[in-house]
Structure 1
């Protein structure tokens, strides 16, 4: 079996997952921190919106993303800035869709980590004169480290395994939107069982590694049993 055709979707998937995870680390942090520390009534609504991709069928989310990223949606207007007609069926479109689909996988672990930090610790740091920047980087960030590890792993893994959303907004364009999950589907359609076995088997091993790593992080964060 020629493995060279398999390298392109693997590289594209890794690039997508790394980009999405980096973006989610940036935008997920303030959202999670606000949801964890705020007592505003709006946190319930925002929390529900952030969690929505977990319960929505991927094709439903993908359908509305396709409309939003298409030529008659906001994505079309944005793409027009550089002469394109649409963000759908493009790598930037995959990034936008994957960020939305994977958002709860980053925000929820971070929210739990920030919520677990005792208020007394924060108040003590503020009493000692710590400003917002120092409070976050010297107190909150180190204490929330397990949440960042779990959130990063889960967001990265979910982006790699996502199928419904990427199929709806990306299609199957080699070198541009043909990621691993689409490559497996394409191989099965073509009855290329050897390629499907290699890709699917690799995904199974990867999924096990993700679950094992997450459990180990959670176990260490809980500390030794008394």
Structure 2
């Protein structure tokens, strides 16, 4: 499929940027909703079950994105779970769709969320939560009203890291989303298209913008970590 260079097509530029931001925002929301409770559970003990779950969650961090994307493509495609759901609902498979991109991006972002959030919860320690228990707070209430506020800087860093990782993801998107304008063509794919077409000016502008965004992400994480360090007893 041939696509127009990003900056020579204003409508395509806006479309790719909106799609990328929507994917990153949705992925961050879902990854935080799933990852924060998992990180809390992992931070509360050291038994073998937590080690196994933690290792499974960390796999996407060390696997090449194309390998993860390959297995997700099989799972979301006609021969996998996606095909079964397609036959049951009468709708297309999840491969090469925005929903499929969200599923893959959440799996890829979870290790970053869980590791950052787990470190934040471990920094909080057990004492504040145990005090809440003595005041008859339920585990769920203690989590939301004590652990989460105290770990807020670390959770913010986790969310920023998940958002930034999704913004720059390429290999996974290529495998399960392809390069469909308006559906799965994100900024990383647009950069690849510009380089392939020899549109170096457009490629430099996209890459420069992403470098600037990465710098802001690192700065936010550094400030959040400093704030977290000041909260240590």
Q: Give the shorter-chain TM-score range.
A: over 0.9
Q: Report if the CA contact (8 A) 2:24-2:163 is conserved.
A: yes
Q: Count residues in correspondence.
A: 225
Secondary structure at 1:177 match in 2: coil
Q: Cα deviation per residue 1:46-104 (whole Å; 9 max; x = unaligned)?
A: 11111111110111111101100101100122233442342111100000000001111
Q: Is 1:12 the counterpart of 2:19 in the alignment? A: yes
TM-score calculated relative to the size of structure 1: 0.95
Aligned to 2:115: 108
Comparing 92-101 and 120-129, the one that deviates more: 120-129
Q: Cα deviation per residue 1:117-160 (whole Å; 9 max; x = unaligned)?
A: 22222221111111123211221111110121001000000000
Q: Is 1:125 the counterpart of 2:125 in the alignment? A: no
Aligned to 2:147: 140
Q: Is 1:181 the counterpart of 2:188 in the alignment? A: yes
Aligned to 1:86: 93
- Matches of 1:83 and 1:42 in 2, distance apart? 38
**Distance apart, 1:219 and its partner CA:** 1.2
Q: Is 1:191 the counterpart of 2:205 in the alignment? A: no
**Distance apart, 1:224 and its partner CA:** 8.9
Aligned to 2:207: 200
Q: Report if the CA contact (8 A) 2:151-2:228 is conserved.
A: no
**Distance apart, 1:111 and its partner CA:** 0.7
- Matches of 1:128 and 1:200 in 2, distance apart? 53
Q: Which structure 1 residue ranges, 5 or more long, are not aligned? A: none
Q: How do residues 47-58 of structure 1 correspond to structure 2 at under 5 angstroms?
A: 47-58=54-65
Aligned to 1:63: 70
Secondary structure at 2:116 match in 1: helix
Comparing 152-161 and 104-113, the one that deviates more: 104-113
- Matches of 1:133 and 1:63 in 2, distance apart? 37
Secondary structure at 2:47 match in 1: coil
Secondary structure at 2:124 match in 1: coil
Aligned CA-pair RMSD: 1.6
- Matches of 1:144 and 1:221 in 2, distance apart? 7
Secondary structure at 1:61 match in 2: helix
Q: Is 1:162 the counterpart of 2:162 in the alignment? A: no
Aligned to 1:172: 179
Q: Which structure 2 residue ranges, 5 or more long, are not aligned? A: 1-6
